Amino acid sequence: MNGPDNKNQNLANRYTEHVLATFNKEYVVVGKTRVRSWHAWLIIGLAVGITSGVALVANRSGEFDYAGATESGRKKISVEGDYIVDTPGSVITHVDFNITGSVMVQAENVTFDDVKIICKGTLASPHSTDGLKALGVNRLKLKNMLIRGGCGGAGIFIQGGAEHDLAEGEIIGSEGPAIVLDNVSYSFISGWRTNENRGGIELRNGSHHNQLVASNVLRTRLTSKMNPFFISADSYENQIVRNRNRYPQPDVKSMVDYNPNNLWYHNVCTSAGGFAACAGNKDKKAPKNRGNPDDFKPRIRTVCTGHSFQGYRCEFNDIHIALAKANTGDVLIVDTKPGLPPSWPAITIDKPIWLIGNTRSQKGTYGFTVFFEDIIVKSSGVRLQNLVVKGLFSILADTTLVAVRTSGLKTETETEVED
């Protein structure tokens, strides 16, 4: 119900946004700030003479934050300290953070989409914590992310919780691992590229029933002894599928797993330790795979043209056969051999599956677009990720799109698009 308070709030918000549009291009935040609705306090502050383009605002709790305007649809926020997101269901899009602390997630169902986090420090006072940190929350979504600048800890550190979804991102230059899942369960990590971090991607402290797919850990720090891919002895029932370590450090094993109850399937590395397995292993007697993918849910299947992935020819090279054999809830990882687009024919998806294009860990230059002639979705519960579609591209209202490009888009009803 829209009462007088809500009407006043909406009016204040509209005035606030209008005033901000005429001011400087950057936020400056000192201390800890929280994501909340702006109030008319901003206008009061402006009226008393704050004209430098930086405005002092009070949020609902009476704390004072600094705020600024947007530029070309993107918002720039400079933070001295931590930036705290504590409102359930928050959606943060098209934001560039320049931060001395962490972006802290303290609420359920928070989404970041097309967000950059630049960790800020100096020689005298280097950055000393994680780029993004989430503790004890559920269903965090990170899509189309960039984290760089020398974060003092991990690029992304998630402790506890379940059903997180980390899709399509890049992490560069962190002093710790790129991504840490610490006692996390039933979460999906897909389409990440990491480079020049001290470590790679870690699942530890009882993390279980997670899926890590289509990701590439490039160089780790020259002096680092951290493993690019690591699973602790108490972490189990995780699936590591279609990943790669490129340019490994000498005397450091690329992939290490100390628990036999994880799946290693169609990965590429130069050396593996414990129960990890990969193609390209210098130990020619070591297994390429470990575990039976049919024993894990969701079932992850690989599809590719020709020899687009080192050491494997995939389960399927015909996408129509792969779709026919896929079961409800399956995930199809698709690689593309170099060639003129579209490299894949028109398809119809009539069951709830996920179709993910892999451009992170392919053989060679790793950038070959997964390009379809057309995609028609006739089932609910479908997710399409990191694809290009030439045709009209017909989908349903609940079809999830992550990093999908198309020359035309039509929907049967209003469609939620995640790009």
Domains and CATH numbers, the chain: 81-296 (2.160.20.10), 304-411 (no CATH)
| Per-residue confidence band for 247, with pLDDT thresholds at 50, 70 and 90 | confident
Q: How far apart are CA 276 and CA 231, in angstroms?
A: 9
Q: pLDDT tens across 69-110, in order? A: 445 689 999 999 999 999 999 999 999 999 999 999 999 999
Lowest mean pLDDT among 58-67, 113-122, 367-376: 58-67
pLDDT, position 307: 65
**Whole-number average pLDDT of the chain:** 82
- pLDDT score of 183 more than 80: yes
Task: Quickly state the pLDDT bin for 393 (edges 50, 70, 90).
Answer: confident
Query: What local confidence, expressed as pLDDT, does residue 120 receive?
Result: 94
pLDDT (average), residues 139-154: 96
Say how far apart CA 206 and CA 373 lie, in whole Å: 43
* Residues 10-53 pLDDT 10s: 544 444 444 444 333 444 555 555 654 333 333 334 333 433 33
Query: Residue 279 — pLDDT band, cuts 50, 70, 90?
Result: confident
Structure tokens at 346: 């028109």
Q: What is the pLDDT of residue 361?
A: 80
116: Cβ contacts below 8 Å, ≥ 6 apart = 95, 96, 97, 145, 146, 147, 148
What integer pLDDT is reported at residue 408 of this predicted model? 56
Whether residue 418 has pLDDT greater than 50: no
The predicted structure's pLDDT at residue 196: 93
Q: Residue 212 pLDDT more than 90?
A: yes
- Report pLDDT for 147: 98
In the prediction, which pLDDT does 249 show? 83
Q: Does 382 have pLDDT greater than 80?
A: yes
pTM: 0.82
Dihedral angle at the C-alpha atoms of 247, 248, 249, 252, nearest 10 degrees? 180
User: Taking Cα atoms as reference points, which of 208, 190, 201 lies closest to residue 255?
Assistant: 201
C-alpha neighbours within 13 Å on the C-beta side of residue 388? 13
Q: Residue 57 pairs with which residues in a beta bridge?
A: 65
Q: How many CB atoms lie within 10 A of CB 41?
A: 17
What is the reported pLDDT for 45?
42
CB 157 within 8 A of CB 133: yes
